[in-house]
Amino acid sequence: MKIGTERAGNEEQSHTSRYLAQFLVSARLDEMPEALIHEAKRSILNGFATAFAGCSDAAMERLVKTLSGFSGRPQASLTGRKERFDVLTAAFLNAVSTNVFDFDDTHPGTIIHPTAPVSPALFALGEHRPFSGRRLLEAFILGVELECRLGNAISPGHYKRGWHITSTCGVFGAAAATGKILGLDKERMVWALGNASAQSSGLVETLGSMAKSVGVGNAARNGLSAALMAGNGVEGPGRPLEGERGFLKVTSDSPNLPALVENLGSNWELSRNTYKPYPCGVVLNPVIEACLEIANAPDFDASRIQSVTISGHSLLRERADRPTVETGREAQVSAQHAAAVCLLYKASSLNEFSDEAVNRKDVLWLRKKVKVVVDDAAMVGAAHVIAVYTDDTVLEATVKHARGDAEYPLSDRDIEEKLRDLIVYGRSGVDPEPIIDAIWRLDQIKDVSEIMALARL
C-alpha cells in the first residue's frame, strides 16, 4: 500500500492535496499491520475513557444546555449521558468531552491529541449510517495519519505562532476519516479537505479555558460536515493544503511538504501515539514524576520548602509557565500548580487539578515558590526539579522519560484501568466491562452503533 516518494515526483510538491486524497481513497485495512490496528483500538479506548471523565464537567453541562434548543433530530448519543442530538452536534459534544480535561492521547513532536477530533465524528456518523468496526478502524487510522502528518509539516512554527494544533489539524483528520466512510472518490476527497481548510481554526490563547475544547469540538463537527458537503457536491479549492494561500503556507513560516508524503503507507503516525497517566499538558508529565520522587523521599516535609526550580525544554516554559491560575482548567497547563500539588499531596489525579485544589491555601503558598527555567540541553519529555529547604538542604530529581512516553508506554491493562477510574470520576454509572470488551473486538463488530449503545445512559 505504500505510495513511494520515488513515484511522487513533482506531484508531492505541487499537487500534495490530490496525492494525499488518492492515498486516503485507496488505502485498505487488510494491508495495514496488525500492531497498527491494535494501536487504533488502544487510542479509541483511551478516548472513551477521557470522554467519560468529561461527560459531567461544567463545560459539557453548559454546552449541552446551550445547544439543546437548536439541535436537529436526535440521531446520535453522548458518551455517559442520556441526551441525544443530531449527528453534527453529537460529534461536537463528544469531542469536547474527550478533550476537556486534557487527559487524552498525544502525538509526539506535534503534541496533537489525535483521537478527540476523529473518533467522535466517526461514531456519530455510525449511529446515522451504520457501518462495521473494520471500516471504522480503517477510517480512524487514515484520519489520524493525515492530521498528524499535517502537524509534522507545520511544526514547530505553527504552535509558536499561536495556533492550537489539535483543532487546526484535527478538522482535516475528521474530514478524511468520515470521507473514507462516505466513499468519496479522489476529487471529492480533495473537496472535503478544501471544505475543512475553510473551517480550520483554534488558538493557543484559549488554553486553560472552556473555549479550548470548543475548538476541538468544532474540529470534529466541521470535519464531518466538510466530508458530507463534498459528498453532495460542494466543491473546494484544488490545492487546499499546498496552494499559495492554502493551509500550509498560511499557518506556517516554512512548511515541510516532504513530511506529508515520505514513507506514506509504511511509516504510520498512529504507531507513535502516547497516552497520559496524568490529567494535564503532556509537558508536565516529567515535572509531576520528578516532584513525586522528591515528595516520596524519607522524611520529606513540604512545609520546609523555601524554593522550587523546574528546568526543562523551552516548550515547558512556553506552554506551562503559569504561576497564577484561578481554575482547574488553567491548572492543567501550569507547572507551578503541578509541582505544588504533587509535593503537598503526593498525588496527581483529576482531584488535584480541580477548582477546589487551585484555591487551597497551602497550594497558593507553595505555588508562589516555584519557578520555571529553560535548559537548552533538555529534551522535550524531560525535567529536572530542585527543591530547597529553608535550611538550604537541597532535594532534586531528574526524569528523562515520564510514564506514558513512547519509551515508557501505558499497557493495555493501564488503559483499561484508566477507563474504569474515569467512569467513576465522571459519575455516569455506565458499566465499563462491556465497552472494554467491545472495543478490543471492534474489528468483529458489524454495526458500530453498538458501542455507543453501551456508552450512553
Give the contacts of 90 (CB within 8 A, at least 6 positions apart). Answer: 75, 76, 77, 78, 84, 120, 124, 127
Amino acid 315: pLDDT: 85
Decide if pLDDT at 6 tops 60: no
Q: Count of CB atoms within 10 A of residue 390's CB?
A: 10
Q: Does residue 12 register a pLDDT over 60? A: no
- Please indicate, yes or no, if residue 135 is contained in any of the structural domains: yes
270 and 370, same domain (yes or no): no
394 and 416: one domain?
no
**Percentage of the chain lying above the pLDDT 70 cut:** 97
Same domain, 104 and 241: yes
Cα torsion 41, 46, 52, 55: sign: negative
Does residue 103 sit within a domain?
yes
Residues 256, 353, single domain; the answer is no
Looking at the fold, whether 96 and 203 belong to one and the same domain comes out as yes
Cβ-based burial of 97 (10 A; exposed 0-12, middle 13-18, buried ≥19): buried
What are the tens digits of pLDDT across the range 313-355?
998 998 899 999 999 999 999 999 999 999 999 999 999 999 9
Round to whole Å and give the CA distance between 324 and 312: 20
- What Cα–Cα distance (Å) separates residue 314 from each residue in 22, 380, 381, 383, 406? 38, 8, 11, 11, 20
Query: Are both 430 and 316 inside the same structural domain?
Result: no
Report pTM: 0.93
Nearest to 147 by CA among 249, 259, 278, 228: 259
The pLDDT assigned to 5 comes to 39
Per-residue pLDDT at 13: 56
**Phi, psi values for residue 383, rounded to 5°:** -155, 150
* 111 and 131 fall within a common domain: yes
CATH number of the domain where residue 98 is located: 1.10.4100.10
Measure CA of the first residue to CA of the last residue in the chain; give whole Å. Answer: 41
Q: Average pLDDT, stretch 186-205?
A: 97
Asked whether residue 34 is domain-assigned, the answer is yes
**Domain residue limits at 67:** 5-275+411-455
| 404 part of a folded domain | no
* pLDDT at 8 > cutoff 60: no
Assess if residue 158 is contained within a domain.
Answer: yes
The answer to whether 223 and 240 are in contact (CB under 8 A) is: no
Asked whether the predicted pLDDT for residue 454 surpasses 60, the reply is yes
Domain for residue 25, yes or no? yes
Pairing mode of beta strands 370-374, 305-312: parallel
Same structural domain for residues 27 and 162? yes
- Lookup: cell for 187: 476529487
Report the domain count for the chain: 2
Predicted confidence at residue 4, as pLDDT, reads: 41
What mean pLDDT comes out for the span 45-49?
A: 98
Cell of 319: 506552554
pLDDT digit string, tens, across residues 279-322: 998 899 999 999 999 999 999 999 999 999 999 999 899 889 99
Which pLDDT score, from 0 to 100, does residue 208 have? Answer: 84
Domain-embedded: residue 296? yes
Size of the chain in residues: 457
d(CA 39, CA 126): 21
Q: Tell me: do 426 and 376 sit in the same domain.
A: no
Domain assignment of residue 380, yes or no: yes
Q: What is the DSSP string of 89-150?
A: HHHHHHHHHHHTTS-S-BBTTTTB--HHHHHHHHHHHHHHS---HHHHHHHHHHHHHHHHHH
Query: Within 13 A of 450's CA, how many CA atoms are on the CB side?
Result: 18
Shared-domain flag, residues 443 and 325: no
Element (H, E) at 385: strand 383-389
Is residue 190 located within the same domain as residue 337?
no
Whichever domain contains 289, its CATH number is 3.30.1330.120
Structure letter (DSSP) for residue 411? P
Which pLDDT does position 319 carry in this prediction? 85
Q: How far apart are CA 127 and CA 124, in angstroms?
A: 5
Q: Higher confidence at residue 7 or residue 107?
A: 107
Residues 257 and 123 reside in one and the same domain? yes
